[in-house]
Amino acid sequence: MAAERYADIAIPVPLGRSFTYRVPPALDGPLAAGARVLCEFGRRKVLGIVLSISEEPPPIDAAKVKAIVALIDAEPALPAELLTFLQQLASYYFAPIGEVLRLALPALERERVRDLEMQGKLLLGEAPGRTKQVGGRQVTYAAPTDGIEPPGSLRGQAAAIMGLLRATGEQPVVQLEKRHGNARAALRKLAGLGLVELTKRTAERAPMFADQPERDEPPTLNDAQQSAVAQIDTALVARGDGSTDQDDIPVGSGAFLLFGITGSGKTEVYMHAIARCLAQSRGALVLVPEIALTPQLVARFRARFGNAVAVLHSALAEGDRHRMWTQLRAGELKVAIGARSALFAPVQDLGLVVVDEEHDSSFKQEEGVRYHARDMALLRAHRAKAVAIVGSATPSAEAMALVRRGKLIQMELPERATQATLPAVEIVDLKRIGAGPSGDRLVSLPLHRAIEQALAAGEQTIIFLNRRGFSPAVVCEACGVVMSCKLCSVALTYHRRAGGRLRCHYCDFSSPLPSRCPECGKGELSLEGLGTEKLEVTLATAFPNARVARLDRDVASGVRSAKILDRMRAGEIDILVGTQMVTKGHDLPKVTLVGVVNADTALSMPDFRASERGFQLLVQVAGRAGRHELPGKVLIQTRDPGHPAIRFAAHHDVPGFLAHEIADREEVGYPPFSRIALVRVDAVEEAMARKAAGRLAAYARSCPEVEARQVQVLGPAAAPIARLRGRYRFRVFLRCSDRPPLRRVLAALLSVKAKLGRKVRAAIDVDPVSML
């Protein structure tokens, strides 16, 4: 009689452990690690992933161990390489393994099994009352009507969703669910009030899935590009011949930092590397900051590699997502390109991992499993014996630290691939120089004249302001109160085109603009400050013959952003006003002028990385000018022209800024010269959140690593945004010069975290990017 076998199974629940199930005789042969199974969990049946199988009995009565109900997959859903990587990710970020696997398998997004779809389709367990056609193309959309709700009738999520729909227009319900977990209930209420119309139709296909572009031919590389490709090719050969064990490969021998100025042809290096990888019959994974903003990049990849490319992003129809996941898993598609979550794509025989714009903060997931896609891409590449390339015109301090430590090999592209020169940069001191004809001080006279010159020459202009809306503050002229969100400790932004409403950019709460101050009941309300919406109006008024458009999240998402950029390339727009969406690697040949309206905004954030982020934004947006035959010019407006980020950006001096910034970080002991973590705590009641944070901080201080001064504990303290979405927020800051002591303290905090109760949420954020 064969020995009883047991499976260690991850269940998609927020618990930091896996669960043991008995393997029934019928499944003894076909069951393997990475397979999806159906299990009883409490009183319900859920999907789980097999992590391992052994004959070691659990430390409980074997008769009480439940048996696996069914095997879903004939072949494991997760390749062994990907499964091992996911377990390492869960361990590093102290994340529940079931929640991590949910990221890799859309099939785990629903916990209750309602229908089993076999024959190669993904399995989705639907919550009660929900149905979905797995792999189908029918998508439910929510659109605002012209109805007006009675005052005070909408609260919470219903109010937030209504505000979002009025601001952005029609949205897929699945997108609303990602931001608001109980969106369907709120939408049913809104539909019942006649405020929202729900329709089901075939999902729009994103422009990047349009007709297959004509295949292009690789251009001739310059010397620097050829040198980079040669180094990568050598690493691909060394790692692809199968003669070296993974553990024998030194860290850094196949990991590169491609440091190239804006327009230097980094993408062409990536594509040559992918071609070499495909020639070895291995797969490639490419991560970009925001896939919806880079249809031009995707078109280039599809033109080069044809139907071998899978494009993964949140706007995909269910049918496309299912098809691409299945084809990648089967090895039918060899190249995956996508945003942060594409890190988990089941690329077979992974040989190359590319992270473009590695410095971009959107690679860090700020909710749920708080992973950093760049860092984990390097880990996945190393575990898969793949070559890794992280590229940027403005490398992060962390990437440069990896170069110093020998973990990355630096390659440089010092010239623009088109032989164009970097644009000339002029700093405009707003303390000394007044407004132009528009009357707004943020459209200075030098900026106004530069726009006039560009228009006269038939050239295009980008105006950058990283602040959405019409006015970022609404102030009572009598009592001075600032209109603030009821759920967040932030000011409401006035959006004129959204029906003249006040909106919170954090929770999507919205309300009509009152005629009088709701606090004192007397004062008139004044619209203060400048947002992209007002700037668009200001420039359209100042230049009545110019075609002015705007690119920010209020007007552009997915298909619409691509259309705006297509109009820009077609010469149908003269002036494009935008937030950081305009900095994302767009190649616009006729753009010769870039104006930065207020460079100080990003530099004043309460974050030790504020200077670095501000510098990166300035260099990246400046890089949109003069990328081809026409020379470029950049105007940076500031009230602090001596700030290091502005001084170095004005000279395109990336190495100089990094040396200055890294020296400052080393002096005060901030990353990359230390390891940090945040324990984030929030609750509806302020006192409860403060008490829980204090309890965690006190326990951390009792750990031997803290008493020995190996780990520093600061706080608890209220977060810079003290209240968010109706919950009060506190944080405990931990810092250490080395990783192991910090990890021991964080591991010890897990037991306290588990005892805080359901009314308190606590999350461990390892290597935090946002300090807000």
pLDDT in tens, 304-316: 988 889 988 766 6
The DSSP 8-state label assigned to residue 293 in this structure reads: G
Q: In what order do the strands lie in the sheet with 255-260?
A: 309-312, 335-338, 283-287, 350-356, 387-392, 255-260, 409-413
Position 333 scores a pLDDT of 93
Amino acid 464: pLDDT: 94
**Nearest Cα to 767, choosing from 365, 390, 405, 410?**
365
Q: Are 468 and 494 in contact (CB under 8 A)?
A: no
pLDDT at 553: 83
Please say whether the beta carbons of 486 and 540 come within 8 A: no
CB 365 within 8 A of CB 96: no
- The model's pLDDT over 42-74, given as tens digits with 9 standing for 90+, comes to 888 888 899 999 888 888 887 789 999 888 877
What is residue 108's predicted lDDT score, i.e. its pLDDT?
38
616-641 b/e with 16+ CB inside 10 Å = b?
bbbbbbbbbbbbbebebbbbbbbeeb
Please tell me the predicted confidence (pLDDT) of residue 249: 45
Which residue numbers in the chain have pLDDT < 70?
1-2, 106-138, 151-152, 167-169, 178, 181, 201-215, 240-253, 291-295, 314-319, 556-559, 585
Tokens 């690593």, located at residue: 705
CA distance 671 to 668: 9
> Distance (Å, rounded) from C-alpha 591 to C-alpha 130?
48
Task: Evaluate the omega torsion of the peptide bond into residue 716 and state whether it is cis, within 30 degrees of 0.
Answer: yes
Report the pLDDT value the prediction gives residue 135, as an integer from 0 to 100: 35
Q: How much is the pTM?
A: 0.85
Residue 674 identity: S
What's the Cα-to-Cα distance from 541 to each of 187, 273, 482, 502, 723, rounded to whole Å?
39, 48, 28, 24, 38
CB 619 within 8 A of CB 593: no
Domains recognised in the chain with CATH numbers: 6-108 (3.40.1440.60), 138-203 (1.10.10.10), 209-413 (3.40.50.300), 424-467+530-665 (3.40.50.300), 675-766 (3.30.70.360)
What tokens does 254 get?
A: 């196949």
Q: Which amino acid, 100? A: V
Question: What distance in Å separates the CA atoms of residue 70 and residue 471, rounded to the nearest whole number?
Answer: 57
Evaluate whether 530 touches 467 at the Cβ level (below 8 Å). Answer: yes
| Burial group, residue 276, by CB count within 10 angstroms (0-12, 13-18, 19+) | buried
